[in-house]
Structure 1
Amino acid sequence: MRDDHPGYPGAAAGDFRSERRFTAPEPQTPPIGMPSVDPFGQTGGQAGYLGGFPGQGAPRPVATPPGAPLPPPVRPSVPSTPYPDLSTSALLPQARPAPSGGWRRWLYLGTGKLVNVGDGPREVHRKNLIAHAEQPLTGCYRIAVLSLKGGVGKTTITATLGATFASLRGDRVIAVDANPDRGTLGHKVPLQTPDTVRDLLRDADSIARYSDVRSHTSQGPSRLEVLASDADPAASEAFSGEDYTRVLDVLERYYSLVLTDCGTGLMNSATSAVLDSADTLIVVSSGSVDGARSASATLDWLDAHGHEQLVQNCVVVINAVRPRSRKVDLQKVVDHFSRRTRAVRLVPFDPHLEEGAEIDLHRLRPPTREALIELAAVVADGFPAPGADRS
């Protein structure tokens, strides 16, 4: 074979390309770069998209598909020690962290802690997610959980996400029931007080310390506190946007994270106040056709009423997904919401959550627990950088 033959290894690259014997495969995603994701959270596929929509000058935020690794968490810069040569890392040998579980843990203990192979990729990824959820936060971050359709698990997502944050972080986390139709958020933690949001409003002017607020809330095993709505439907209808603003003024002085469980209506004044004050939005959908359509209609309404920024930074949660149910093409549902929002996450069906009683994270199945940790990490990825202007 001649040296200049295109098939010869030493042939010039230009000669090989000039033959055009191969054609590039047809793209499997639209030009805007819709992410290719596995609806059941398996690793793989495109990590996200950076392309903007037609008519938009700035690129959209990167959408993180289910199962994709998150970038390293942002940590605040701290001044260096005045004695760098006397730092702990310089003076003491840094021991490798012991494996957390599995055969690696057994090997570590079985060899008298002499053989330490470290954690596997799955545990490393889990610790990365936890590091994201534990990111430092300046001030109070307000999360609104919304759904136009009832019965999709909006209150359950509020409680489980809040419990996940509270169990991972060291600061205070509270969930507020702003449902004007007698919400059930107060039923997700053991009842410690009969007080409701009405009692907090009554005592708002006399609250001067954290213990004053704590006397009106109930706390679960995860340390999540819940401020329940009024149990009387006739009285709860009077809960207005002004009332919510007063409640928020009190809570943001003592809590780092405030999650608000909104009602199913979008036109009441309480929901309007929640949306106006929210830093980020979570829209909950079921895996059914009508659930997905209702969630998409919620985004349409928000876009049409001046909340475009909330929609762009929104996280959509498809709740209670049964892995063996193939009646609805969840891939297309995920693709639809990925084009409109910052991220989409799936939370699998769990028998403990189906009970509708108090939620204990330790009773959840491992896939559900992992999905909630990943959801918390994705939400925390939207936290403002330390020192950033949030006005």
Structure 2
Amino acid sequence: MQWTRRGPTGLHALTAEPQRTSSRRPPAFTETVRVISALGPHTSAVLAELPPADVRPVWEYLSIVTCPLLVARASVDGVRHALHLLSQLRTAGLGAVADRTVLAVVASVPKPSRDVRAACHQASERVAALIPVPWDEHLARPEPVDVRRCRRITRRALVELAAACLPPKPLDGGDQQPISATAPSGASGMPTP
């Protein structure tokens, strides 16, 4: 695959254009959707980082994926922002999207406060799954993530997150449908409050 780069864990990443010029630009939203649709038959999962999810085109994309994945900072504001987005989706008639959403809550401090844990408990009742990802020094660094360098508890949480997003493997060996998971993000890679 000439348009991908293989990461340290063996995953292929489709890379966007980092240098914007008049002839070189990152793919437009509709182009990204076409690429993901073309990859569907050839892969079991596609993970796409989308613009902030408070715009209608992102909602439309979320409506067609098998497993919408939201990533929130482990703060009261971060979790509330995710809940507000889910409320907006339900109001816009996309309740099914909100119901199948997996919410990953990533800690930015070693021990989240009681208020954060309470907000996570409230959010867990409004999504298909809420997976807390504990603070990890390796995840806190501004560099590509190599899960082999994460703490065991963090790797376990990431496996739980993958299990929540991927469909179970059929016992009869039948065909497995490809899925897409999307992660809306702010400038830091997390939704902003």
SS across alignment from 2:88: helix
Equivalent runs, 1:101-120 vs 2, <5 Å: none
Alpha-carbon distance in 2 for matches of 1:221, 1:388? 26
Letter of the aligned partner of 2:48 in structure 1?
T
* 2:76–2:115 Cα contact (<8 Å) kept: no
- Once the two structures are superposed, the pairs formed by residues 302-313 of structure 1 within 5 Å of their partners are 302-313=89-100
Structure 2: segments with no counterpart, 5+ residues: 179-193
For the residue of structure 2 that corresponds to 1:249, the secondary structure is: helix
- Relative to structure 1, the CA distance from residue 344 to residue 249 in structure 2 (aligned partners, 3 Å threshold; closer, same or farther) is closer
Match of 1:239 among 25, 28, 38: 28
| Cα offset, 1:251, TM superposition | 1.0
Normalising by structure 1, we get a TM-score of 0.40
Amino acid at match of 1:356: P
Asked if the contact 2:4–2:15 (Cα under 8 Å) also holds between the matched residues in 1, the reply is yes
**Letter of the 2:9 counterpart:** S
Note if 1:248 corresponds to 2:31. no
Q: Say if 1:379 and 1:355 are closer, same or farther in 2 by CA, change over 3 A.
A: same
Any idea what SS the aligned residue of 2:70 has?
strand
Residue 367 of structure 1 aligns with which residue?
153
Paired residue for 2:83, among 293, 296, 305? 296
How many Å apart are 1:221 and its aligned residue?
A: 1.7
- How much identity, in percent, do the aligned residues show? 26
CA shift, 1:366, in A, is 1.1
Distance 1:305-1:355 versus aligned 2 partners, 3 A rule: same
Q: Is the 8 A contact 1:245 1:273 kept in 2?
A: no
Give the match for residue 188 of structure 2. Answer: none
Give the 3 Å change call, closer, same or farther, for CA 389–231 of structure 1 in structure 2: closer
Instruction: Pick one of 337, 342, 345 that aligns with 2:131.
Output: 345
CA-to-aligned-CA distance 1:118-148 (integer Å, 9 cap, x gap): xxxxxxxxxxxxxxxxxxxxxxxxxxxxxxx
The structure showing larger relative contact order (alpha-carbon pairs under 8 Å, at least 6 residues apart) is 2
Contact 1:317/1:344 (<8 A) preserved: yes
Greater than 6 Å deviation, 4+ residue runs: none
Shift of the alpha carbon at 1:340? 0.8
Q: Give the structure-2-normalised TM-score.
A: 0.77
2:54 to 266, 284, 295: 266
Structure 2 distance, partners of 1:361, 1:389, is 26
The question of 1:276 aligning with 2:63 is answered: yes
**Cα distance change, pair 244–325 in 1 and its aligned pair in 2 (3 A):** closer
Distance 1:273 1:219, change over 3 A: farther
- Helix, strand or coil for the counterpart of 2:158? helix
- Among 324, 328, 353, the alignment partner of 2:111 is 324
SS in 2 for 1:252: helix
Q: Find 1:228's aligned residue among 7, 12, 15.
A: 15
**Structure 2 contact 101–128 (Cα < 8 Å) conserved:** yes
* Contact persistence 2:99–2:126 (CA under 8 A): yes
Query: Which has more radius of gyration?
Result: 1
Question: Contact 1:244–1:274 (CA<8 Å) still a contact in 2?
Answer: no
Offset, 1:228: 2.1
8 Å contact from structure 1 (residues 321, 347) kept in 2:
no
CA–CA distance in 1 between the matches of 2:62 and 2:151? 32
How many pairs align?
A: 172
Question: Deviation string for 1:11-55 (max 9, x for gaps)?
Answer: xxxxxxxxxxxxxxxxxxxxxxxxxxxxxxxxxxxxxxxxxxxxx
Shift of 1:372: 0.8
Equivalence for 1:217: 4
Could you say what the CA RMSD is over the residues aligned between the two structures, in angstroms?
2.6
Q: How does 1:1-391 map to 2 (within 5 A)?
A: 214-232=1-19, 235-236=25-26, 239-241=28-30, 243-267=31-55, 269=57, 271-326=58-113, 328-380=114-166, 382-383=167-168, 386=174
Q: Compare the two structures and name the one with the higher strand fraction.
A: 2
Read off the aligned partner of 2:137 and give its amino acid letter: P
1:334 is matched by which residue type in structure 2?
Answer: C
